[in-house]
Structure 1
Amino acid sequence: MVLVLSSLSAFAQNRTVRTESGLVQGIPANDAKISAFLGIPYAAPPLGDLRWREPQSVPAWSGIRKADHFSASCIQHISGERLPWTREFLAQLPISEDCLYLNVWTPEIKTKEPKAVLLWIHGGGFVEGAASPAMYNGEQLARMGIVVVSINYRLGIMGFFAHPELTQESAHHASGNYGLLDIVAALQWTQKNIRAFGGDPARVTIAGQSAGGTAEELLTASPLAKGLFRAAIIESGATLSDPTGGSLAEAEQQGTQFAVSIKKPTLKELRGLSAEDLQTLERNAHLRFGADVDGWFLSEGVPAVFAAGRQNDVVTIDGMVADEGSSSKSYGALTPEEFQKQVRKTYQSLADEFLSLYPSSTQAECTESQKQLERDRRLVSMYLWGVKRAGTSKTSFYTYYFDHALPWPEHPEFGAFHSAEIPYWTRNLKALDRPYTPVDWAISDTLSSYWANFVKTGNPNGKGLPAWPALEPAEPVTMELGDRVAPQPVVSPEKFKLWMEYQKVNPQLE
């Protein structure tokens, strides 16, 4: 009995790490060689007067803090399941304002050669999501020799509410963007603490999907994030359009109108409401609070930052999936008549050429043309964003197009849906009960290898993998990732010529 207790004590000590705020004790992952530290605070709970303030330092604690379970999710509506996103993709845990925690999976705590670090930023439209869903579990990637960090950050009205009184009380004369400031704080925590977990603070790659990818784009434009990461993987995030919602003044106006509409016009009254009541009022008002150009986190819009060469110039992967819009009932649902009318309204003098390349003589043909037109628009926009970026960036830019549908006999209509690539590169296919074939496991091996190589070296290429070329403005190609893994043209030459004509009159490809 004494030997067993002694062994357990040593086992726990081997997974005890000192952070700047105190000791944390992790647990073994399913693979006991991997240590998991779940629910580590990276900022003080944003409660009371700290609601709608930049994240504050974590108060120090004494003794050993157990890091053995995920924290609560940030304030949001928990939907449970919303197809095509099953429970494995969505936040399921209780919600709380006290949610600024992160998780670490590491293959080796004490090492002479620190491991490269991947910091994951979840998606969810800046209104939902968490670090805890099964799809984001970092154990399998840690087995590939990297340290994985996943984070929560404030969402919706709690994370992006701006108001004149908030601006006035701020030392930086800014308000809104609290969720983005949380991500900066998590990156700062990583710089200060990750070496104790076996990670290398000089080799931090941020990765995120959807809103998480948008956050990355914003981080590359923010002076507050300078030097906090060396590479970025943007999944279904970056396009030609500016991801900010507008100026600080516009965000303050939206916040003021909301406060007046709920009859709580002052900041004191707003802070007096419970977080759950605020979130309900936000949903009932059908409002969406987002990033603003506040003069502190962002001094100007993202395109302007890149045009002037003031971005955090880091090597970047940017990609998309084939069926980004398949969650909508309108996806490919227009009749030929409706589609032709829409094309004529949108593309005007170029409509005949678009209809020639995206024909709609039958419903089946029309459905496919609708989907392909949207894919091509996004592909061209991604390529052009890379071209603009190349004007002031010295680092490489890699793009991809993921077109393999997750096996789902009950719902083939969703195809390669928004988020479908995540379980492949995180090696979490087993978390989903699907009728996989050897092709799925091969794709997972390939994608995770590309991602792990990129985290380790800043280049996705490696031994045994098809060559993935970096973007060259004169050669419009992207990397197809799916049943086929190889470079492909962004679009066909005749389509490319037409999209370039359209882009002359509509630079954002909206």
Structure 2
Amino acid sequence: MKIRALLFLFICAPLWVNAQSDVLKVEGGKITGTVTADGAVRVFKGIPFAAPPVGELRWKAPQPVNAWNGVRSCNAFGASPMQNEPAPFSMWSAEFLIPKTPISEDCLYLNVWTQQQKDTKARKPVIVWIYGGGFVSGGSGAPIYDGEATARKGVVFVSINYRVGAFGFFAHPDLTKESGTNASGNFGLMDQIAALQWVKKNIAQFGGDPDNVTIAGQSAGSMSVNCLVVSPLAKGLFNKAIAESGAGFARNYPSLQQAEEGGTKAAESLGANSIAALRNVPAEDILKKVQAFRGPIIDGYVLPESVAAIYNAGKQNPVTLLTGWNEDEGLSGGNAKNAEAYRAQAETQYGGQAQEFLKFYPGQTDEQAAISQNKLSRDMSFGVQNYSWAQAHSRQGKKAFVYRFTRKLPATGTYAHYGAFHTGEVAYAYDNLRFIDHQLRPLNATDDKLATTMSNYWVNFVKTGDPNGKGLPVWPIYDTNAPKIMLLGDQSEAAPLTDKPALEFLLNNTAKR
């Protein structure tokens, strides 16, 4: 019997070791996760990286995580930040949105996907994903942000939550006074920095290299990446940046004084005469009644100056940059003006430079005017921003790689006319086409090939700071004098940035708003 018992223990020992190895020690306590069906990737969802920002901690910088006893099961996403209930709209079907539940102020959680590895001392590169949503919506639980495919390629994938809307970007004179930093309003950005600090301290437990971290984001997430690159509070937390459709170079973020004035008016509208009273207002009431706070503030602390000023002074955090925007984006809003009205508006807005403007964005016919208005919206909102970043970065002798996503996604019904739309590239870059609703968007072999190409570029960049690799079209380093970008579409190839003159015109005339 003793021999049988010993034999049983010997046979089962590897299983016991594997089970124990799933328990990790992080700030706050021990956690366990799940593993993919084939055992290749370990997944940890809903890891707290800060204390819940509720009650007295509403509108405060993120505080240290609350410790827990025992082993915390991290097998489900934490709550998405406070926002309206998600519902498909415009170009975005359900897979681009957060789950309907849970949604809560208690939202400071992150998720980790990491490849199983035999060598426990090996350290893999890390990517930290920051979602978009106009700074008023979004969350790490959206299906297209899944990290498994990237983890399978030897990268530790981390996705994080941060506060949005009035919960993430609310400023008030009394909040400024109590802060200890003489600033308020950038709580969402501070959440992101707290998550990066957590990564720095804990990611080695997941096989990640804390000294090889890439921050990545899209839309408001890309704008966040831009802010983190220039924030002194984020120094030393990353060395590479991926910014998809969004930056703040040619954009005027509000000053602390402007934001505080808005906060004072909001408090009055809620009938709250103190910060204590404001913190007692139900979250649902704030969500409904306080809607003017939509993003970063030049607060003198998280953002000491404008993005452009910090870059011009060479005070930004050192990174290698991969950035770009999409061919269509599709966020023009409203109905297009006819040709006559469009040209009249150009005359009013640009005066003596109207004819030059109309060379870049012509409007001889209604159809041509509609196309130009879409391009103008794309370039004003995204093209000028990311172009300005690439230019400033490259002028300082830093490496940048620039792309244009041109794949017009196959689609049916109301989705058919959006083309290479805003956020459309994300599922390709992270090899997540399996989450796309193929009834709405009947993808094909061209899409599969592009997803493989793009995800390999992204992974190579995360690993080495260079997207190039075996079997991929050569992606040239961006050169301000003769800029070439990578076109990512039906065919992936390098090409001159032909709209440089148009972008320069906008940059010099209308983009600073």
TM-score normalised to the size of structure 1? 0.92
Which residue of structure 2 lines up, in the alignment, with residue 348 of structure 1?
Answer: 351
Q: Is the CA contact 1:26–1:68 (under 8 Å) kept in the aligned structure 2? A: yes
User: For 2:47, what is the secondary structure of its paired residue?
Assistant: strand
**Alpha carbons 1:443, 1:482 under 8 Å: kept:** yes
3-state SS of 1:414 partner? coil
Query: How many pairs were matched up?
Result: 498
For the residues of structure 2 that align with 1:254 and 1:375, how far apart are their CA atoms? 29
CA distance in 2, matches of 1:213, 1:355: 30
1:323 is matched with: 328
The equivalent position to 2:177 in structure 1, one of 168, 175, 187, is 168
Counting only pairs closer than 5 Å after superposition, residues 66-105 of structure 1 correspond to structure 2 as 66-92=73-99, 93-105=101-113
Aligned to 1:365: 368
| Structure 1 range deviating more: 291-300 or 248-257 | 291-300
Shift of the 368–498 alpha-carbon distance from structure 1 to 2, 3 Å rule, reads closer
Contact 1:238/1:318, CA 8 A, preserved across alignment: no
1:452 to 459, 463, 471: 459
Task: Choose 193-202 or 316-325, whichever is displaced more.
Answer: 316-325
Query: Partner of 1:405 in structure 2?
Result: 408
> Percentage identity across aligned positions?
44
Gaps of 5+ in 2: 1-7
After superposition, give the CA deviation of every residue in 1:224-279 in whole Å (9 maximum; x if it has no partner): 000000100000112531363x2212211110011112211311110111112211
- The one-letter code of the counterpart of 1:409 is T
Q: Which amino acid aligns with 2:479?
A: E
Instruction: Answer whether contact 1:380 1:490 (CA < 8 A) is retained.
Output: no
Change (3 A) 1:241 1:107: same
Out of 38, 41, 55, the residue aligned to residue 34 of structure 1 is 41
C-alpha deviation, 1:145, in angstroms: 0.8
For residues 23-81 of structure 1, give each alpha carbon's deviation from its aligned partner in whole angstroms, at most 9, with x where no partner exists: 11010135421000000000011121111111111122221111111111111111321
Q: Tell me by how many angstroms 1:457 deviates.
A: 0.3
- Opposite residue 416 of structure 1, the aligned amino acid is A
Q: 1:150 is matched with which residue?
A: 159
Secondary structure at the aligned position of 2:417 is classed as helix
Partner of 1:314: 319
Aligned to 2:276: 268
Report which stretch shifted further, 92-101 or 367-376.
367-376
User: Comparing 258-267 with 354-363, which one deviates more in the overlay?
Assistant: 354-363
Q: Distance in 2 between matches of 1:363 and 1:443?
A: 34
CA distance in 1, matches of 2:506, 2:435: 43
Matches within 5 A, 1:5-44: 10-44=17-51
The answer for the alignment partner of 1:478 in structure 2 is 485
Q: For residues 309 and 343 of structure 1, do their structure 2 counterparts lie closer, same or farther at Cα, with a shift above 3 Å needed?
A: same
Task: Give 2:426's match in structure 1, choosing from 415, 422, 427.
Answer: 422
SS in structure 2 opposite 1:233?
A: strand
1:299 equivalent in alignment to 2:294: no
CA contact (8 A) 1:347 1:502 kept: no
When residues 71 and 379 of structure 1 are mapped into structure 2, their CA distance, relative to the original with a 3 A threshold, is closer
Structure 1 position 387 matched with structure 2 position 391: yes
Task: Give 1:374 shift.
Answer: 4.3
Larger CA deviation: 201-210 vs 348-357: 348-357
SS of the residue corresponding to residue 85 of structure 2 reads: coil
Note the C-alpha offset of 1:292: 1.4
Shift of 1:365: 2.8
Give the whole-Å Cα distance in 1 for the aligned partners of 2:280 and 2:512: 44
- Mapped partners of 1:503, 1:432: distance in 2: 35
- Asked if 1:206 is matched to 2:210, the reply is no
1:107, 1:143 within 8 Å by CA — same for their partners in 2? yes
Distance 2:132 2:506 in 1: 31
Q: CA RMSD in A?
A: 2.2
Indicate how the Cα distance of structure 1 residues 486 and 347 shifts in structure 2: closer, same or farther if over 3 A, else same.
farther
Unmatched 5+ stretches in structure 1: none
Q: In the alignment, does 2:337 pair up with 1:334? A: yes
Deviation at 1:355, TM superposition (A): 2.8
| SS in structure 2 of the partner of residue 40 of structure 1 | strand
Aligned AA (2:309): A
Work out whether residues 79 and 103 of structure 2, in 8 Å CA contact, stay in contact via their aligned partners in 1: yes
Match of 1:247 in 2: 255
Match for 1:38: what amino acid?
Answer: K
Deviation at 1:497, TM superposition (A): 4.6
After superposition, the Cα gap between the structure-2 partners of 1:465 and 1:38, relative to the gap in structure 1 and judged at 3 Å, is: same
Q: 1:380 to 1:59 in 2, by over 3 A?
A: closer
What is the distance in 1 between the residues matched to 2:241 and 2:171?
A: 28
Letter in 2 for 1:87: A
**Given the alignment of the two structures, is residue 188 of structure 1 paired with residue 197 of structure 2, yes or no?**
yes
Q: How far off is 1:430 after superposition?
A: 1.1
Classify 1:503/1:63 alpha carbon distance in 2 versus 1 (closer, same or farther; 3 Å): closer
